[in-house]
Amino acid sequence: MSGTNTAAGAAAHSQKAISVLFVCLGNICRSTMAEGVFRSIVRDETSPYYHLIDKVDSCGTGGYHVGDEPDSRTLSTLEDHGITDYVHAARKLRDSDFRDFDYIFAMDNSNLADAQRWRDRSRKASSSHARIMLFGEFSGTGRKEVVQDPYYVGRDAFEKAFEQCKRFSTNFLEHAFPNVGKTAR
């Protein structure tokens, strides 16, 4: 391990690990894309964020695809970018998610409103410590972006979703752990 990685590792161990949940409507396109991209960044042992992320998952606000694997176009887009080990079974948002995750990232404003309403209606979720946010708040452009649902659009939309998820993930990690990213450079 190089000196830079050692310094990053030391900084990582001094930080509290966080957990992240990605949310879209059906949990087969956007949220799974975000989960796959985010995992590829933080689960790499050479990543300065390796020990800083506790749990990563994704879910949908609707139960349309519970138990299904991600859309084949999501998987092929991930594979085209070298992410070949991503496996997931779609699930629906649940009350415990609001207690179990530090950050809940919605892919668009509708998903954001649904997650906030869910938390507000649930007595079990009332003890939530999760920050519910639009993932696109970390666009790096100075404006919030949404990840459009690529399901009915086509392959180019999956590529755009990948690019956004990669950019948002990197920006979020640099925001959440500003000293770690600088140490790793």
**Active centre residues (catalytic):** 24, 30, 149
Q: Which residues, in sequence order, are bridge partners of residue 133?
A: 105
116-124 contacts, C-beta under 8 A, 24 or more apart: 118/61, 118/93, 122/95, 122/98, 124/95, 124/96, 124/98, 124/99
CA distance 32 to 69: 9
Pairwise CA distance, residues 109 & 85, whole Å: 30
Q: Spell out a b/e string for 129-154, using b for 16 or more CB atoms within 10 Å of the CB, else e.
A: ebebbbbbbbbeeeeebbbebbbeee
Q: Which residues pair with 134 in a beta bridge?
A: 106
The Cα–Cα gap between 4 and 6 comes to 5
Q: Burial-class residue 13 by CB neighbours within 10 Å (0-12, 13-18, 19+).
A: exposed
